[in-house]
Every structure is written in structure tokens, then in C-alpha cells.
Amino acid sequence: MCGIVGYVGDGNAKDIIIDGLKKLEYRGYDSAGIALNQKNNLVVRKKIGRIANLEEMIQGEDLTSHIGIGHTRWATHGAPSDVNSHPHLSQDGRIAVVHNGIIENFVELKKWLTEEKGITFKSETDTEVIAQLIGVYYEHDLVDAVYKAVEKMEGAYAIGVIAAEEPDKIVAVRRDAPLIVGLGNNCNFIASDIPALLKYARTIYLIENNETVVITKNEAKIYDMDRNEVKRDVFHVTWDADAAEKEGYDHFMLKEIHEQPKGVYETLTRRLEKGGSIKLDGISLTKEDLDKINKIYIVACGTAYHAGLVGKYAIEKFARIPVEVDVASEFRYRDPFVDDHTLFIAVSQSGETQDTLAALREAKNKGARILSVVNVVGSSVARESHDVFYTWAGPEIAVASTKAYTTQLICMYLIALYMATQKGTITKEYYDHIMDELKQLPDKLEELLKSEKQIEEIAKKQYRQTSVFYIGRGSDVGISYEGSLKLKEISYINSFAIAAGELKHGTIALMEQGTLVIALATQDKLYDKMLSNIQEVKARGAYVIGLAKKSNTAIEEQADDVIYIPDCADEVTPVLAVVPLQLFAYYIAKLRGCDIDKPKNLAKSVTVE
């Protein structure tokens, strides 16, 4: 969950690398560092904290160089500190390494390097093992040394390496962690993600798993595990660099909340034919294919898992196929029943989530058909799937996911409706009704965002809370989980979501005077039952914020505050209901003075297990 950048060319490497790291700070912000080659001497500067701390430390130094690597860290091995920050050097100072991921056998390697090679380690990190290992194998040929070191290393990682004696070359390796190459004019780059390079390069190579890259200022070559050169088509980045900027908003999260009407519109309309039928990009699930499927798994982590809960609801209701939703980190450890009659749907914003990728491979090895829902074109999950369905959310920079989630919901509805039409489990009238409701969502989202000021005022009354409960029924349960997650991850308030019918089975014991309960009551068929649940918590002294459709005003008699969403069919309320919860979490965090886009201990792309 770290960000790496490398540059070789005619420009000022220091400034270009630091600029790129700033675009990757969402991937980690415990510390940052750079390594530059100055006249065949490696100069390393690194500092705990944000990139601004590093900039302040090196201000005024002459760090002129035309080649270097940089890193922004989310700590895994070793607490955040100057010493544990990347880049790391070999003992003789000839090799510098930046690293994203985990070296799983670093303890054994460290023992071997210490006892057999006499290496003295300075840090607690697994990354220093890489630098020392390459240093041991280095005999004036960096590519050869990297290959030999990689043979010894186990885990999921991407690395960037430079050598003092080879001031024209960066070597990088991808093993289950994101890596791209940017192609510029008289310069080339490596990076963890596209935003780092957009200012300098829009033509890139998407590096595949188990590939090694060698870049100089004039060329970029890709090699496989056997050192054979690989030819690769270039990928042209079409989205605007401004999409990765705040554009006047205080935070990326708020900007991305407001981009949801556009993201939903793009994700939906790009898949609809003129006659209203659904076109799922390159997905070729026929009726015959679907008739063979007797079980669907939706597997994901965090926010994507919550989208999967809505996906289960939609697929079972429309297509009448049993669906199980599982947390990716647990899926493969319970030996799930998967065979060639299983459809495995992987959901991931980045397409690099390590737990999801590992679960995908487990299911694929057992014969399952893999369909992925991802936002990043060419990501690992996308490349290893049989079918890919891209969301059109655009770049999402804030760690707390918002627009990626709502576009994932749209994908789930489209997949469910497509399956239903193929299988004949939905009438044309019902299909047209749901499709009409989906088409109205962008405008209704715009309408809903106008209630932002009301939500901010409610937040002003509640931001000092220390615990919050979210309750709902039906599809509102999954939205409650997502609302709770948003609040805890950016405001650090202890929040808890539960199906409202489960309150009486234990959780109601926690209700007392002033306890904040956010009650989702957007399902018409369950509305009266939710009003009863609100009465239950109110009787114990709870303060209730209700969420309902604007025509269901009876909730005002029970709740202390009410937020309304536009009227819509029960089936599509999740897309609307989540937005007030996102805004509530945002304003609570802002009032508490939290770092909203970069919450503590979290990073955007979780590339470690």
C-alpha cells in the first residue's frame, strides 16, 4: 500500500519524483523519501510524515540529478520512522530500492544475509532485505543482480532499483503489486499508478505479473521471468489531469461525492442500447452459460464488499440465482465449494486489492468463471478475469471511497438485469420499470446533493459523539454497513451497523440517553417495521436521525431529525440512500478536524494481505 515513482531523463529528477509522489500520497503517508544518482554516488533523503516534511528537509540542497526513485510509505514492517522510510541502501551504498508490498520470507533472508554474508541491518523493514540481497549479487550488472535476488524473494511486491555504477538505468519488477511505465520525450518513468505520471506522460505500458522492466531515458524494455524480451501494446490515458485535482473543493472526498451523478450516468448509459437492452462491454455470458451456473459468489473487501451485498439482493431478485457474498480475506481459507458451475464476481475499485486477487485465483483454479467489476483499466483483477465490467467513476483519490461505490452498484444492477433477461426470469414490464428508475438516478442524485447544507447542520449537533449505531432492513442493511464504515474511517468515531430486527437480540442493551442512532427507512414494504424499531431505541433514550423517501413523512413523528431522499422504487434506493451518509461522515470528520482524504492507518490501494 505504498507509492513508488522513478524517473530517468534530461529533467530535474528530484522535482519530478516529488511531484509524482504527491499524486500518490493517497497510497501511503507515513513517510517519504528519494534516492538520486549524483556522479555515480547514491544520495538518499527520507523523512517521517508527509511529503511536505521531506520537501522542507531538503530545501536549499543541491540535489541535481537526472535519475532517481522515490517512495511514499504505508508501514507494514517497522513503525513509521526516518530509519524505516524508503529508499533503502545496500550495505556498501551501491544499491537503492523502493518497494510496495511484502516480502513474506524476509526473516529467513535476513538471517542468511546476516549470518552468511556479514550484513548489518539498519532498519526493521522487509525492504532493506531486498536492497542487501541485490547488493550481495551485484557484480556491475544491475539487471542480473535483480533477477538473482527475485529468485530468492517470496511475496507480493513491486520494486524500483538503481545502482551507483549505472547512472542511466532503473530496473523494476512486478509481482502481484501495481506497476506501470510512462513513456515521455527523452525520458521514461515507473510508477504505482497513473496519476503520478499524468503531468509528464500519457502513453504507458501496463506491466504484467512476473515481469521485469529496464528503463533508460531513450527506451523501456520489458522482460519475462526467463529474461526474454516481451512486446507490449501501449495504453493511452484519455482522462484529463484535472480529474485528479480538487477543482476548488476543500477535499477530494467532497469533490468525488459531487461527481457521483456523472459517474452513475456514464456507467449506466455507456451500457444501454437504443432499444433499452443492456450491453455488458466484452462480457459474453449467454443463456446457456447462465443455465450452467448454480451458484454465484461475490467476493470483495470493505466498501466493495458492501456493494456486493446490494448485488446479491439484485441478482437473487431479478435473475433468481443463489448468491453468496464473502469477505475476500476469508474466502480462500474456508475451502469454499467452487467448481465449473460457479460464477465468481470480484469487486475492486483499484483492481489490485491483494485479498480479492488471491480469492480470484483460488476460484479460478477450481474451475469458476471469473467476472470482475473494477474501476482501473488494465489492473491485475481485470487482466486475470474471464470477463471484465468497468465502472466509469473516473480517478478516485480520496482514501474513503464514494463514487466508486455508487458506480459499482450500477454495475451490479446491470449485471443482474442482464442475467434476468437472458434467463427469462423478468417480465418486460418489470424490466422497463427498473430501467426507467435507474435512468432517473443521475438527476435525483443532483437533487439530493442540494440537501448538503441540512446534513452539515445536523453534523454540527452530533460531531462530538463517541459512538454511533446504524440500523436498517432489507437493502438498507448493506447501506448501513457502508455508512458506518465511512464514519469510522474518516472521523475515527466508533460506529456499528446492524439489521434493525437484530436489535432486540443483544445490541439494544447499549442504548441509553443520547445514544445516536441513524435509522434507514427507505424500503416502502418495511417502512412500518422500521418505525417500530425507531420507537424501540427512542424508548431507551436514543437520539434518532431518520433517512426516508420524501413522501414517507410519518417518520417525523418518531425521529429527532429526518433526511429525505427523492422518491424512487425500493430496488434502487441504495444508490440514493448512501449519499447523505457519505456527506454526514464528511462533515462530522471536518468538524472534528480530521485529515479527511488521508485518514490515519489507511491507504487507498490495499496491496498486502
Residues 6+ apart with CB under 8 A from 52: none
Taking the C-alpha atoms of residue 370 and residue 376, their distance in angstroms, rounded to an integer, is 17
Grid cell in block for residue 587: 462533515
428 neighbors 565 (Cβ within 8 angstroms):
no
Peptide bond preceding 580 in cis form (omega within 30 of 0): no
Q: Which of 23, 169, 217, 604 is catalytic?
A: 604
Handedness of CA 345, 606, 22, 129 (dihedral sign): negative
Classified as helix, coil or strand, 335 is: coil
Helix intervals (H) in 271-344:
287-292, 302-318, 328-331
Four-CA torsion 289, 427, 323, 176, nearest 10 degrees? 60
- Angle 391-255-101 from CA coordinates, rounded to 5°: 60
Taking the C-alpha atoms of residue 323 and residue 311, their distance in angstroms, rounded to an integer, is 9
DSSP letters spanning 190-254: EESSGGGTTTT-SEEEEPPTTEEEEE-SS-EEEE-TTS-EE----EE--S-GGGGS-TT-SSHHH
Taking the C-alpha atoms of residue 442 and residue 263, their distance in angstroms, rounded to an integer, is 8
Helix axes 403-423, 260-269, angle to 10 degrees: 20
600 is catalytic: no
Among 55, 62, 11, residue whose Cα is nearest residue 32: 55
Helix axes 428-449, 260-269, angle to 10 degrees: 160
604 is catalytic: yes
Phi-psi map region of 176: left, alpha, beta (phi>0 left; psi -120 to 50 alpha): left
Active-site positions read: 2, 604
